[in-house]
Amino acid sequence: MKQKMFKKKEQISLVVRYYFNGAIQESFLHFESAERLDAAGLTEKIIHILESNGLEYKNNLVGQAYDGAAVMSGKHSGVQARIREQAKYALYVHCNAHCLNLVLVDTVKAVPEAEQFFSLLEKLYVFTSGSYVHPKWLDIQREMYEGAPRELQRLSDTRWACRFISLRNIMDRLPALKRVLQDIAQERNGERSIEARGLLAQLDLEFIVHLVTLRKVFAETTFLSDMLQSSSLDLSKAVDLVESLVQTLNDFRQESFFDNLWDEVLIISEQCDTAIQPAAKRQKRLSSKLAESFVLTTVGQRETEQDKHGFRTAFFYPVIDQMLNELNRRFSNTNCDMMNSIQALNPKNDAFLKETTLFSFAQLYDANIEDLGHELHQFSRILDRKIKTGMQRPDSTVELVQFIEPYKEVFFELFRLCKIAVAIPVSSASCERSFSTLKLVKTFLRSTITDERLSNLGVLSIESRRSKALNLDLFVDRFAKNHKNRRIMLL
């Protein structure tokens, strides 16, 4: 991953993922400045970092994860393709966390009402953040609710799953928000009062329906987003989580679910004194030129149905269906063969230890198919025998690796494939997190810091748990032994 810093220098962050001591590990490796931003230059930097750290990547590198930028993911001349020319087993995985973010972005863009809703949320945030309005917003919350006041959140363009926090805060504080707008609308401050009236007029029944619907949907995607960013998650679990979200969204389409959602809308509307029935509108007339024509709808004259059935068909179903389409498109087409075949090593999947499924995964890494077939038969018998004696069945791919490890010399091919399965990256979230540390280390006062020192400080900060476990006395003794003449020349 790369990030631009103060001196307009792009920084590369490299994190390695591996199986060690019975667990999945992700360790920060290096920060490096990138002079060239083309695929060839970035590939050269990555290979240099791997070689300088003594990593044998040509045979041991089994996966690489980036976002969907063309320079990184290009099929023919991108970074991932160039690295595969030197490390043939380094299969490319499109960061699943980025895929989910793109699902949310495309869903909102495809439903105009949802896009307008989030634009309104941003306007509400800007209005309540003003120096005059913000104190009133906090005071009214203290008056109406117990506990600390809540802030409306600025909407992030890159972390859409985090918009759930904004939806939750507005839903919990909607009565207070309406009261703030009502109070300011009654003041004699022309521009501010007019803006408050405009925002207040938007907080109608339609707004509440959109709020409740999107909060339900984003609550489910937030859980998946958090899990996809976990360093301990393996690819088979990621597939299960995505399939679980798809099943949940399919369940949302049941009428009973929308009935419960509509009841929640009515309760919130009553709490906020929001009219259930919209005000009568002037009947729109068509042009006389269309008098003898059959008109289904006209541009700019689409009427929003304000009843329960109307909201369900005009907003609720389009959001759910669009998200389902995007999930199936983004996650089914990304590494489809690998993600399906890896389920043969997932104890919870119906395809667990099925030869036809596992063989397709084994072929990606040049496993000996004949030996693997014999190992599967023997391992199935051992596993059944152990379970009958009271041993708990492995619950995940990681637990499966732990179970096979004592027999790793006997089940060589199976153990190797299991280690590969848990080492394949799910997302590039650890690289993204390292940039947060980079901003803390490389401040304006340290803008001239060398790349080597920056990377070393980054290792100490990012891997703080390991850094704190080091014995500093040993480092002092080693320094004293290597630098016997420790006198400092003073001028």
Using pLDDT thresholds of 50, 70 and 90, give the confidence band for residue 281. Answer: low
The amino acid sitting at 155 is L
Lowest mean pLDDT segment, chosen from 203-207, 358-362, 392-396, 448-452: 448-452
pLDDT given at position 1: 54
Using pLDDT thresholds of 50, 70 and 90, give the confidence band for residue 301. Answer: very low
* Half-sphere exposure (Cβ direction) of 212: Cα atoms closer than 13 Å: 23
Using pLDDT thresholds of 50, 70 and 90, give the confidence band for residue 7. Answer: low
**Rounded to whole angstroms, how far apart are CA atoms 62 and 422?**
10
Coil, strand or helix: which one is 37? coil
The residues spanned by each domain of the chain are 2-95+428-478, 100-275+305-332, 338-423
pLDDT given at position 486: 64
Q: CB–CB of 274/208 below 8 Å? A: yes
pLDDT given at position 305: 44
Average pLDDT value for the chain = 85
Architecture of domain 2-95+428-478: 2-Layer Sandwich (3.30)
Using pLDDT thresholds of 50, 70 and 90, give the confidence band for residue 245. Answer: very high
pLDDT given at position 302: 44
Comparing 293 with 462, the larger pLDDT belongs to 462
Using pLDDT thresholds of 50, 70 and 90, give the confidence band for residue 4. Answer: low
* Nearest residue to 460 via CA among 477, 440, 446, 443: 440
Q: Give pLDDT tens digits for 319-367.
A: 999 999 999 888 875 556 677 788 889 888 888 888 888 998 898 898 9
Residue 292 pLDDT exceeds 70: no
pLDDT given at position 300: 46
Using pLDDT thresholds of 50, 70 and 90, give the confidence band for residue 392. Answer: confident
Instruction: Enter the DSSP assignment of 283.
Output: P
Find where tokens 């501010």 sit. 192
